[in-house]
Structure 1
Amino acid sequence: MSANPSDLEVSRQRNIELVAENFDLKSEVANFRKEQKSSVEKQERKNTEFENRLAKVDQGSEVVDEQPQVKTEESAVDTKEMPSVSQNVKEAKLEESAVDVTPSGFSAPNNANTKSTEDEERINEEKRQQVCIY
């Protein structure tokens, strides 16, 4: 079987088109890889920057943790004796949820105990400040 000259020419033309398309696709793939590499490098730089910033923050918190006392003009407070914020939040929630059951069966917030606790804390703080001043 011999190929018809017109069929041979059509096949050659199609081959040229496919080679050109293949070249374009390879070029496009190369551009995508270049963009991806650039994006990865950018993300790695950002990651390094954030790691450095985190290390600085960690170093700063270690310095704060190593200081046994925080002194101000008004008072000196031992940081080991200070309750954490989470403890204060839990205590505040407990105080808010405290209720008295009255003889009628209704419950009402226990504001009297909360206020006396606040007064006691204020008085204790004033005493601590007086002791630290002298």
Structure 2
Amino acid sequence: MSKRMEFTRKVKAQIIARANGKCEKCSAMLKIGEGEVDHILPCALGGEATVANGRLLCRVCHVEKTAGDIKAIRKSDRQRDKASGAVRPKSALAGQRRPKPALTKTLPPRALFVPVATTAEAGK
């Protein structure tokens, strides 16, 4: 897994200047020091600490985005573990299921189906 890369002060200053005091997601006006610089593509998914991969967000937008990032990171972790064989899949893959055996009816021998004589016929 990649190590988290923080933005340098210079890069943060460029991102803040580009945002011009507004949240870059919802356009809310931000007070000085209120915004949070965030990675567009998280470091865990291959994002870098560059101006192009950063944006200024309000606290509400940052919390929402971080929740979505965590889900995406966990999903990629699960996919990587399955692909590497570290975790066994819980069920068989769709293309590799065993076919069910064909159901065949086997009838008992005909001798067992001899009609039983009724009492009227038995007296003859």
TM-score norm. by structure 1 comes to: 0.26
Q: Which has the larger radius of gyration?
A: 1
Q: Which has the higher contact order (CA 8 A, sep 6+)?
A: 2
Q: Which has the higher helix share?
A: 1
Give me the TM-score of the superposition, normalised by structure 2.
Answer: 0.27
